[in-house]
Amino acid sequence: MSSDVNVEVRDVADGLWLWRQPHPDWTEGSDWRPEVASFAVASGGARVLLDPLAPPPAARELWDRIEAFAPDTIVVLKPDHVRDVDLFVRWYGAAAYGPWLFWSGDVPKTELRAIEPGSELPGGLRALDDGRGRMETPLWLPEQRALVFADGMTAPDGELLVWATGRHDARVRGALRALLDLPFEHVLVSHGEPVHTRADFEAALGREPWSSAEGA
């Protein structure tokens, strides 16, 4: 683990690492905490960035690592996690994948290759269904035995929780429980403490979900 100009860099497993930093669009009263994680995974010959947020220019060590990584694929996991996909595509000539529909004003200039649950991405990464019906597609990373979530799960106070969806909570828990059929060991989330275990995931399914109103 290392830090570089308010950016934390953490290795999770062979070929899987993350960086974590305050989001520049965060404001007091936001229904999420300021620090967010971005992920990098090397799998099946592909070098993939997931929901990447560009580090500040002064974070030279991290930029050097990204440059050496030379990403060839960018994946947006959720319509409001556009972040800096356009920048990374422009700088590295990477192919970009993501939702086929965006509901906010933050629409990428890059034409993304649409993904949905069941889609297979470069490197053998597979898009999953988290039951929320919001076109979020968590990913299964088979080589690293990891699940990566945008907002489907969160850990604002360090404990892994399902992000509440009101009347859809039962459907969400069913979809997440089905993911236990996958042989994963790691669970990564964008918001809050980013790295968790399979045991944490199983425990989260039995806890009360986290409501954004609680964390506002």
pLDDT at 29: 56
Q: Give pLDDT, residue 32.
A: 58
| Fold entry, domain 2-215 | Metallo-beta-lactamase; Chain A (3.60.15)
Nearest one of 26, 36, 82 to 216, comparing CA atoms: 26
Query: Is residue 163 within 8 Å of 207, Cβ to Cβ?
Result: no
| Three-class DSSP category at 41 | strand
Question: Looking at residue 89, what is its pLDDT?
Answer: 95
Q: What is the DSSP letter of 81?
A: -
pLDDT digits (tens, 9 = 90+) for 100-131: 776 666 778 888 999 999 999 999 999 999 99
Q: What is the pLDDT of residue 100?
A: 77
The per-residue pLDDT for 27 is 52
Supply the pTM of this predicted model. Answer: 0.91
**Average pLDDT score over residue span 17-22:** 94
pLDDT at 124: 97
- pLDDT value at residue 215: 33
Please state the domain extents for the chain.
Answer: 2-215
Sheet strand arrangement including 2-3: 2-3, 8-13, 16-22, 35-43, 46-50, 73-75, 95-98, 113-114
Least confident of 23-32, 65-74, 138-147, 199-208: 23-32
How far apart are alpha carbons 18 and 9 in whole angstroms?
Answer: 6
